Chain A
Amino acid sequence: MSKAPFMPPQGSSFAGQVDLLYLFLVGISLFFSLLIAGLIVYLAVRYKRRSPRDIGVPIHGSGVLEIAWSVIPLVIMLGSFVWGTMLFFHLSRPPADAVEYFAVGKQWMWKFQHPDGTREINTLHLPVGQPVKVTLTSEDVIHDLFVPAFRVKMDVLPARYSTIWFEPVRVGTYHLFCAEYCGAEHSRMGGWIVVQEPEDYERWLAGERGQENRLASPEDLFKRFACESCHRTDSVARAPQLAGLFGKQVRFKDGSAIVADDNYILESILKPNEKIVAGYQPIMPTFQGQMSQEEALALVRYVRGLEAGK
């Protein structure tokens, strides 16, 4: 069905599941609200005071009823909790084949970047049927990428990465809002997600490629910032090996260790001395303020792509 009343169109693969959970919970709420309202009206009228002096029967309670109306609601709620949590984890784990896009929230506009570097402001063109992972960051305050039609929403934090994923399943143009208050033009910080057939998307992308607003390729960024002068593949390198770093465990000088992810790589570029890799000296200069968010994002993606041994 294209669009149910009072519900946004189901634009993504899991929109239907969210709506199903919503309708289930609306049904439960309607049932209990009508039950309580009906009971109140019936009991109030049935036991209306007949003469000014008569009093109610002093009933003090019943254990059975108390257990019934605490266990039954709890069971229903735990059921909706389990269903909700499974759906939430499905929403939190992007599939492996998701194509990665980037979105940067900046006071009162959205900057999108396609995998091949094409950039857009406030609008994002996407091919239908292709799972998409959007890596989000903000340049100033907290924003929130909210696409009602896809039933997705995620806060966009400064100096940190967050990710959402969805798979557009229906061609169309859908609202995009900022759902975390971010200042004066918060109401106008929105735009459109344009989902097209794959051919139209490619044609649109080709048209865009003609223009010059492409980003320098990650390889020459790696050279321009002289990363390769230290991070060399030969043994005399004075800096940790980057190839195959992504997803590997990194041990630090103070004994702690974490799994290298986007945040760690970005942090090592902008704030290198925060975590010193065991066996190395804190000699890496900070690049904070010398490169734009997009360039940092491109470098992070480049380092992630470096396979061991290349």
Chain B
Amino acid sequence: MPSTERAVLETEDYINADYNIKSWLLTTDHKRIAVLYLISVTLFFLIGGLFAVLIRLELLTPQGDLMQSDTYNRVFTMHGVTMVFFFLIPSIPTVLGNFLVPMMVGARDLAFPKVNLASWYVFNLAGMFTLYAMFAGGVDTGWTFYTPYSTTYSNTHVVATGLGVFIAGFSSIMTGLNFIVTIHRMRAPGLTWFRLPLFLWAHYATSLVMILGTPVIAITTLLLAVERGFKIGIFDPNLGGDPVLFQHLFWFYSHPAVYIMVLPAMGVISELIAAFARKPVFGYKIVAASSMSIAILGFLVWGHHMFVSGQSVYAATVFSVLSMLVAVPSAVKVFNWTATLYKGSVSFETPMLYALGFIGLFTVGGLTGVMLATLGLDVHVHDTYFVVAHFHYIMVGGTIMAYLGGLHFWWPKMSGRLYPQFWSRLSALIIFVGFNLTFFPQFLLGYMGMPRRYHVYPEEFQVLHVLSSAGASILGVGYILPVFYLTWSMRYGPRASANPWGATGLEWQTSSPPPTHNFLETPVVTTDAYHYSEEVTVG
């Protein structure tokens, strides 16, 4: 790049480089695409959250008095579809990943910038399908779309939602493909694989799952839509099909999908713990290897969602023992994060609060996952609130806590502004308290036999439901606060320096917000990932 052009970039950054709307909507700058995703993903989070509030309000009373049963069925289905496919799967990879992967490898952009922009438009197109289905009357099959209810008996907008999920899959594939090629082919000189930040290892592993799993849900939802549209039987037993085959194909993707949700979160947590303990992550190579083994083993365990579905007991046994194996890398990561704090220099800014919260809640989520993988116990607790509590501990206690932690950690880099530590720490604590009050009672409800997707339940469950709904209102407050102070910080927040936290990583070696091409010269990496030393300038 000719030197004259480089001089101009001194004061310019990717935000003020161009202000008109066209430059944003047709950008191929990975940082701008990350901001566009931030807007879309937050919109879907609020929609999904609205449905969650409706569910918790309805469950305050044993009778179904707030809404009819088929309204409730649509509300919990749309809560599931919106949250899983339009918030949890895209959030960390498309917002934090898109912004940081090129910077962390020292590149100017992702390998295929135009494909990256296309993935945002494809994501929004998918969102349109799902929003159309919502406004036109909703879908009531549950986010799992089990047949034959979804193919024959439901008269709601299953085809529109199915196509929405089908198209959202392509956005996920495009992101995964971009990350894999970028991490393989565009690393800065000196940046060997074992000098990569663990954030990149986690996103590399996630991209493998996106690439190898998403096409199967694409073909499954396509077959579902075709079967529903043309009344031909692939999954419908009356037409010769087999509903358990749908479950196999669905869960082949949907279990690895939970690792698409949690692996990026683990990558964020490794960065936060290292940054706020100011020392390398304990057992770097082990933590990196465990991300990879979770991605690979994650594909061999889907049968534990189907232990009581009529699946053969021998296949169930195989899936159960493999599910125990896949739990080991997650346990190893938790121990390594905890060990990182030993002899560290720990500070408690907001991102660290989210990180510490994540480790605690993810541990509970992981251990209850092992309980569910134990065959003898799963027969009793399958499809009860025990399962609901388990996956909310992983998805909300894990992924959303890490997403917020990562957002608060890299916000100064993305917006060039600092946000108020008091309000952000307060909202982190509110979220932690509200979360536990919402979902811990659901473990007890689950074992007592409260089935999933019920809005009319026996009186003896009401006390715990009221506790859970109370917790949900606290959680709601906790989630709204960041929207205010982060937006406020974009205009009024104090300007952030290149490295406000004193962290390591190439993204902290360029200005905040970074210039359009990230680095004035391509950085050369000479040290390991988390190489802290005395002269690191702070603040």
Name A residues whose Cβ lies closer than 8 Å to a Cβ of B: 6-8, 17-18, 21-22, 25-26, 28-29, 32-33, 36-37, 39-40, 43-44, 47-50, 52-62, 65-66, 69-70, 73-74, 77-78, 80-81, 83-89, 91-92, 107, 140-142, 144, 146, 148-149, 151-155, 157-160, 162, 175, 177-188
Contact = CB atoms under 8 A, between A and B. Distances in A.
Nearest to B382: A153
Given A152-B379, A188-B456, A89 B313 contact: yes
A185 B308 contact: no
Contact of B146 (A47, A78, A180): A180
A151 B380 contact: yes
Contacts of A151: 379-380
Given A70-B331, A160-B310, A85 B375 contact: yes
A142 B141 CA distance: 12
8 contacts: A29-B368, A36-B360, A55-B536, A56-B343, A77-B324, A92-B313, A157-B237, A187-B453
B5 interface: no
B382 A29 contact: no
A235 to B, nearest CB: 36
A66 B328 CA distance: 11
B379 A33 contact: no
A60 B73 CA distance: 51
B39 to A, nearest CB: 33
**A-B CB proximity, top 9 nearest:** A148-B449, A56-B279, A87-B376, A84-B374, A88-B375, A56-B344, A61-B283, A43-B341, A29-B367
Contacts of A183: 73, 140, 149, 153-154
Given A36-B363, A48-B347, A81-B374, 16 more contacts: A22-B371, A29-B368, A33-B367, A39-B338, A40-B356, A48-B346, A60-B280, A69-B335, A80-B371, A84-B375, A151-B380, A180-B146, A186-B453, A187-B454, A187-B457, A188-B69
B341 A77 contact: no
B448 A8 contact: yes
A32 B356 CA distance: 15
Contacts, number: 275
B153 A141 contact: yes
B33 to A, nearest CB: 35
Contacts of A32: 363, 367
Given A29-B364, A58-B532, A87-B376, A186 B73 contact: yes
Nearest to A141: B149
A236 B313 CA distance: 42
Interface string B298-309: 000000000111
B474 interface: no
Given A18-B377, A141-B153, A187 B455 contact: yes
Contact of A177 (B144, B148, B346, B449): B449
Interface of B: 64, 69-70, 72-73, 140-142, 144, 146, 148-149, 152-154, 237-238, 243-244, 277-280, 282-286, 307-310, 313, 316-317, 320-321, 324-325, 327-328, 331-332, 334-336, 338-339, 341-348, 356, 359-360, 363-364, 367-368, 370-371, 373-380, 382-384, 444, 447-449, 451-458, 531-534, 536, 538-539
Contacts of B316: 88
B278 A146 contact: no
B345 A81 contact: no
Contact of A77 (B244, B282, B370): B370
A88 B244 contact: no
B457 to A, nearest CB: 7
Contacts of B320: 81, 84-85
A47 to B, nearest CB: 5
A116 B144 CA distance: 39
Given A33-B363, A77-B324, A92-B313, A55 B533 contact: yes
A185 B69 contact: yes
Contacts of A92: 313
B237 A146 contact: no
A88 B321 CA distance: 13
Given A32-B363, A184-B70, A188-B456, A146 B451 contact: yes
Contacts of A66: 283, 286, 332, 336
Nearest to B335: A69
B284 A60 contact: yes
A179 B284 CA distance: 43
A78 B363 CA distance: 18
B313 A146 contact: no
Contact of B451 (A22, A52, A178): A178
Contact of B237 (A57, A152, A158): A158
Contacts of B308: 144, 153-155
Nearest to A151: B380
